[in-house]
Amino acid sequence: MSKTMNKDKLQALANELAKDLKTPQDLSDLSAQRTKMTVEAALNAEMDYFLDEEEGNSRNGYNRKQLKGDHGQFELNTPRDRQSKFEPQLVKKRQTQITGMDDQIMALYAKGMSTRDIVDTFEEMYGVDISPAWSLR
């Protein structure tokens, strides 16, 4: 996918979402939802990658946790496995705060970075090793 295509898609999405924004709180709520959706997608991709490597184990629903971000607090659904061996890297167990990540994720997409480049950047910025399969599912 080219840089122009990524930027055009993001711009079209931003234009659509902007139609419903009336107050600063609306913008904050949208940012929190975007962070929640992105982090949950990444955690699910981490779980998929983990289960590909783990024989005899499978998904076992979700745990809920409250997470505080740049735009307030939100509930996050974190996947769990039957053998309780999954150790998420993006949002670790017992972690309660995540800041700055949502803007950085969007900036990487807007720049047209490849999945591998995004994974490398996350490793550099956060010290996490995630599967390239998580992005833009």
Q: What's the pTM?
A: 0.67
Q: How far apart are CA 73 and CA 96, in angstroms?
A: 10
Burial class (CB in 10 A: 0-12, 13-18, 19+), 86: buried
Rounded Cα gap, residues 95 and 137, in angstroms = 24
| Cα 77 from Cα 64, distance rounded (Å) | 5
pLDDT, one tens digit per residue, over 62-102 is 999 998 877 678 899 999 999 999 999 888 898 888 876 65
CA-to-CA distance for 13 and 5, rounded, in angstroms? 12
**Side chain identity, residue 22:** K
Q: Which segments in the chain show pLDDT lower than 70?
A: 1-5, 71, 100-106, 109, 114-115, 122, 125-137
